[in-house]
Amino acid sequence: MRADRTHRTLLTLLALVLLAAGITILLAGTNVFGPNHGGQPLLANPAARFFSTHGGWLWPVAAVAAAILALLGLRWLAAVVATEPGQRRINISTDGTAGRTVLDSGALASAVSAEIEDCPGVDDVDTRLWGSPNTPRLALRVTADPDVDIAALREQLETLALPRIRYALGKPDLPVTLDLSYSRHRSARVS
Indicate which CATH number applies to the domain containing 107.
Answer: 3.30.300.30
Instruction: Give the SS3 label for residue 138.
Output: strand
62 falls within a domain: yes
Residue 99 and residue 60 in one domain: no
**pLDDT at residue number 48:** 73
Residue 52 and residue 118 in one domain: no
Residue 133 and residue 48 in one domain: no
Element (H, E) at 31: none
**pLDDT at residue number 191:** 37
CB atoms within 10 A of CB 7: 13
Instruction: Give the SS3 label for residue 102.
Output: strand
- For 146, the domain range is 89-182
Q: What is the pLDDT of residues 102-152, one digit of tens each?
A: 666 677 778 888 888 888 888 888 888 777 777 778 888 888 888 888 888
77 falls within a domain: yes
User: Which pTM was predicted?
Assistant: 0.47
Number of domains comprising the chain: 2
Contact 177, 1 (CB under 8 A): yes
What is the rounded distance in angstroms from the CA atom of residue 106 to the CA atom of residue 128? 9
What is the rounded distance in angstroms from the CA atom of residue 30 to the CA atom of residue 108? 63
Stretches where the chain sits below pLDDT 70 are 1-4, 37-45, 82-105, 185-191
Question: Which residue, among 185, 132, 121, 127, has the nearest Cα to 154 in the 3D structure?
Answer: 121
Residue 49 and residue 120 in one domain: no
- Looking at residue 136, its amino acid is P
